[in-house]
Amino acid sequence: MSPLPPGNETVPLDWASQPDEDHMRRVQAGDTRALEYLIHRWTPRLSAFFYRLTGDPHASDDLLQESFLRLWASRDAFRADARFSPWIHAIARNLATDRARSRDRKPLHRAVTSSGAPGQSTTLLGRIADSATTPFAAASKLEMLARLDEALRSVPETFREAVVLCDLQRLSYEDAGEVLGVPAKTVSSRLARGREHLRQALAAFRSGPIS
């Protein structure tokens, strides 16, 4: 992630070293440059979050825009002592939950089979393949992630949320609890169950052929 949005020369250089909360306070004051900066800073992370939660790479563009629009619309609700990461994750998670309720989720294999011009992939797995240094490394990475994705899809949603928030988004138990509206102890329990599901699913892959 580069520190400054390209083409936005008006952003002060010291913004890169400032915490998200400072930028959010600028957003609260109506500064759309700060909003643009947060979008630049958080798009990669939220994109991965949506993909892991929904399994649909095509849904994430729409959800990304909706997340930041909701951030803007509810900017006054961001408390002075609030932390940005759990707050934006809660927005994103609510959107993903609403989306899951309103339509059937797309099958995960779309992400694997989607293709584009070399170096221009838009799916998670495609980007990983693009980043690999050799075709073998790319195939290996893709294989591993395809299995992980499939294993994640087999984890019940309640536990998968905990895994995505804590292991993939690196939130603390407390922050994940804030996103999910449960105590940290509950997050710990759900995370343990989610990891156990994954362990079993990955062990099954290990003993069987790659589909």
Partner 1 sequence: MNCEDAREGVSAQLDGALPAGEREALESHVAGCAACRAFRVELADVRTLLRGVDDLDEPVSRAAAVGKGVLARIEEDPGRKREKWMVFVGIGVVAACAMIVAGIAWHYRPREESEHGPAPVLREPSPAFHGHLELRAADAATRDALRELFRQWRGTSSLSQPEAGPEFAFAADFDGPDDPAFLERLRAFQRDHGLSIRSWKFSSSTR
Chain positions contacting partner 1, by CB under 8 A: 1-2, 5-7, 32, 35-36, 39-40, 43-45, 47-48, 61, 64-65, 68-69, 72, 122, 124, 127-128, 131, 144-145, 148, 163, 166-170, 173, 188-189, 191-193, 195-196, 198-199, 202-203
Name the 3-class secondary structure at 78. coil
Q: Report in angstroms how near the CB of residue 21 gets to partner 1 at its nearest.
A: 19
Amino acid at 80: A
Q: Report in angstroms how near the CB of residue 132 gets to partner 1 at its nearest.
A: 12
Q: Report in angstroms how near the CB of residue 127 gets to partner 1 at its nearest.
A: 6
Q: Report in angstroms how near the CB of residue 195 gets to partner 1 at its nearest.
A: 5
Which residues, 6 or more positions from 25, have their beta carbon under 8 angstroms from its beta carbon? 78
Selection from 95, 111, 98 nearest residue 51 by Cα: 111
Nearer CB in complex with partner 1: 69/82: 69
Nearer CB in complex with partner 1: 82/144: 144
Name the 3-class secondary structure at 8. coil
Q: How far apart are CA 160 and CA 170, in angstroms?
A: 14
Q: How far apart are CA 197 and CA 175, in angstroms?
A: 23
What b/e string do you get for 121-147 counting C-beta neighbours within 10 Å, with b at 16 or more? Answer: bebbbbbbbeeeeeeeebeeebeebbb
Q: Report in angstroms how near the CB of residue 67 gets to partner 1 at its nearest.
A: 9
Nearer CB in complex with partner 1: 104/210: 210
Nearer CB in complex with partner 1: 93/104: 93
Nearer CB in complex with partner 1: 104/195: 195
